[in-house]
Homo-oligomer: A and B are copies of this chain.
Amino acid sequence: MSRSVVALIALAVAAGASANTPVYNANISEAEVLGAQTAWCNALVSISKTGEEKGQAAAKQLAGEVIDAAYGYNLGPVAFKPTLTVAPQTFRTTREGALAYFVGGDPNFKDDSGFALKGWTACRAENAAILINGDVATTMGNVMITGKDGKVTTVDKTWTFKKSDDGKLRIVVHHSSLPYSP
């Protein structure tokens, strides 16, 4: 056990804290944020795999479940700028717009071919900065996604996660863009 941990425990004892003091903590932690990034990556690969193995309808079903679990559309509008959208439908503040982006097939979003259906096989995040403010936390950095052919696509990505009353993290801001090409 490190000396600083020992010091903290000593401090807590001095201040009269006991192991059974009930504590409520609404704050989001860095570990929770890193876990939510991994969950997003895993979900993208799962939707891709489901699309390949079971078709678009099954992928759409799964994508809807992922959106409901991982995005904050239940809380209100989500600030979502996907990587490949174009005006006048660049921003997807509604669940319908997010679902269309991931799996396509929505006549209201004709330009969407289904980003999650491109056969992604791996995904990982590399953070340039993490900012934590109460129950919201923002990460900015790169996300690397690997296609069937092994080619890696890198995007610049900003996510803000909000910890709901139920303790779950939800994406409330998502800005993704291809790197600038001079």
A interface residue numbers (CB < 8 A to B): 8, 11-12, 14-18, 21-27, 30-31, 34-35, 37-38, 75-81, 83-87, 90-91, 93, 111, 124-136, 138-142, 154, 156, 158, 160, 162, 164-166, 172-173, 175, 177-182
Contact = CB atoms under 8 A, between A and B. Distances in A.
Given A37-B15, A124-B15, A180-B177, A158 B79 contact: yes
A155 to B, nearest CB: 10
Nearest to A81: B156
Given A24-B172, A77-B23, A93 B31 contact: no
A85 B25 CA distance: 26
A20 B21 CA distance: 34
B91 A24 contact: no
A41 to B, nearest CB: 8
A156 B16 contact: no
Given A26-B134, A177-B180, A21 B128 contact: yes
